[in-house]
């Protein structure tokens, strides 16, 4: 993950001197020194302390006299910039750190400000780091809390859709999968990510989102909508047999139902073809898919 250069850093370097907040100015300089030394533990400590001090300065009550209010306004604005910089310092250190340190730094940022704009870009690496450090069981809870602040984050939505699917919470799984589809179709390539990497990530997430929606809709007997999602998933999941087998199986089932309703021979034969492909993949669905294909062809023979 590439480190994005933020304009706030430039503003802080050139910012006005806080006349009555030497402690805050010193805290900022100490934090920058820790960053330059890549001392992760010290960055964490000083970022938390600097942010707390900045919040106190920013929240100081307004003076009574007009002469003092202008200086108070500048001082409060500068303190808010430093507060933001402290959050950025945690984020910047995290995305360059090994997985365990990344988890520590980003969980600290969540505690400091769960709405921090830097978290939105961090969750992809954060969730991966949780998995790498043996804390995969914490991922659903992290995603559940974070989605309240970042409802259009594709990484969080994918986790929640998968979790709901695994827990057989079909309505939640379908809702998350459909929201994820909408998000992915409208999101532009993230800054710092190559076009090829973004397309690969987008395709993988879209394949999963359409797959989850297609399976849930199939089980709900919403055949037309299920067919659309399963067909959308199919080219995106080729090569992934654990996902491909149920996709083909249910494409056979839903198209059989649609063909029967419309008495459409061509569609019935297509349903049999999907079932044949499912039967060719070893697994628990193979035998039933083969039987389905035989029954579908027999049914198609009766249609004109």
72-107 confidence digits (pLDDT tens): 888 899 999 999 999 999 999 999 999 999 999 999
Mean pLDDT of the chain: 92
Task: Find the domain containing 264 and state its range.
Answer: 238-304
The answer to whether 62 and 69 are in contact (CB under 8 A) is yes
Calculate what percentage of the chain has a pLDDT beyond 70: 93
Q: What is the mean pLDDT of the segment spanning 219-223?
A: 97
Residue 6 belongs to a domain: no
- Does residue 228 share a domain with residue 165? yes
- Does residue 294 share a domain with residue 282? yes
117-140 confidence digits (pLDDT tens): 999 999 999 999 999 999 999 999
Residue 219 belongs to a domain: yes
Of the residues 235, 254, 270, which one is the last residue of a structural domain? Answer: 235
Residue 37 belongs to a domain: no
Most confident of 11-20, 46-55, 191-200: 46-55
Calculate what percentage of the chain has a pLDDT beyond 90: 82
Residue 300 belongs to a domain: yes
Residue 60 belongs to a domain: no
Of the residues 219, 235, 251, which one is the last residue of a structural domain? Answer: 235
Q: Say yes or no to pLDDT of 48 above 80.
A: yes
Q: Please, which residues have CB within 8 angstroms of residue 7's CB and are 6 or more apart in sequence?
A: none
Residue 88 belongs to a domain: no
- Does residue 158 share a domain with residue 227? yes
Give, in order, the Cα–Cα distances in Å from 193 to each of 197, 201, 251, 268: 6, 10, 35, 44
- Does residue 230 share a domain with residue 155? yes
- Does residue 195 share a domain with residue 263? no
- Does residue 251 share a domain with residue 223? no
C-alpha span between 17 and 30 (Å, rounded) = 16
Task: Give the 3-state secondary structure of residue 39.
Answer: coil
Q: What is the mean pLDDT of the segment spanning 258-279?
A: 97
- Does residue 176 share a domain with residue 208? yes
Q: What is the mean pLDDT of the segment spanning 187-192?
A: 87
pLDDT of residue 119: 98
pLDDT band at 12 (very low <50, low <70, confident <90, very high): very low
Unique residue bearing structure tokens 């769960």: 114
- Does residue 221 share a domain with residue 157? yes
**200-224 b/e (C-beta count within 10 Å ≥ 16 → b):** ebbeebbbbbbbbbbbbbbeeebbe
159-187 confidence digits (pLDDT tens): 999 999 999 999 999 999 999 999 999 98
Q: Which has more confidence, 58 or 221?
A: 221
Of the residues 178, 208, 235, which one is the last residue of a structural domain? Answer: 235
pLDDT of residue 21: 55
pLDDT of residue 11: 41
- Does residue 205 share a domain with residue 259? no
Please give the tally of structural domains in the chain.
2
Rounded (5°) CA angle 50-52-55: 105
- Does residue 204 share a domain with residue 219? yes
- Does residue 260 share a domain with residue 226? no
Q: Say yes or no to pLDDT of 5 above 80.
A: no
pLDDT band at 8 (very low <50, low <70, confident <90, very high): very low
Residue 7 belongs to a domain: no
Residue 129 belongs to a domain: no
Q: Whole-model pTM? A: 0.88
């Amino acid at each position: 993950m590439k480190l994005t250069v933020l304009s706030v850093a430039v503003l802080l370097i050139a910012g006005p001197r806080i006349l009555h907040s030497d402690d805050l100015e010193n805290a900022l300089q100490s934090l920058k020194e820790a960053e330059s030394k890549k001392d992760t533990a010290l960055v964490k400590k000083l970022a938390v302390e600097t942010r707390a001090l900045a919040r106190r300065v920013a929240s100081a009550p307004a003076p009574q006299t007009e002469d003092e209010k202008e200086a108070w306004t500048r001082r409060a604005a500068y303190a808010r910039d430093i507060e933001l910089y402290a959050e950025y310092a945690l984020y910047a250190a995290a995305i360059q750190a090994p997985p365990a340190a990344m988890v520590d730094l980003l969980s600290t940022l969540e505690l400091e400000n769960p709405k921090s704009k830097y978290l939105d870009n961090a969750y992809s690496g954060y969730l991966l780091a949780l998995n790498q450090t043996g804390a995969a069981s914490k991922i659903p809870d992290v995603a559940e809390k974070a989605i309240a602040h970042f409802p259009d984050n594709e990484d969080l939505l994918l986790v929640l859709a998968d979790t709901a699917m695994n827990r057989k919470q079909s309505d939640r799984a379908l809702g998350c999968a459909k929201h994820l589809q909408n998000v992915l179709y409208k999101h532009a390539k993230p800054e710092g990510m190559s076009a090829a990497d973004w397309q690969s990530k987008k395709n993988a997430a879209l394949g999963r989102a359409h797959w989850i929606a297609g399976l849930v809709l199939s089980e709900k007997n919403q055949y037309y909508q299920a067919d659309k999602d399963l067909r959308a998933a199919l080219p995106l999941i080729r090569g992934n047999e654990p996902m491909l087998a149920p996709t083909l199986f249910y494409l056979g089932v839903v198209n059989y139902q649609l063909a029967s309703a419309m008495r459409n021979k061509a569609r019935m034969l297509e349903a049999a073809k999907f079932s044949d492909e499912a039967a060719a993949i070893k697994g628990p669905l193979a035998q039933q898919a083969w039987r389905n294909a035989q029954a579908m062809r027999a049914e198609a023979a009766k249609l004109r």
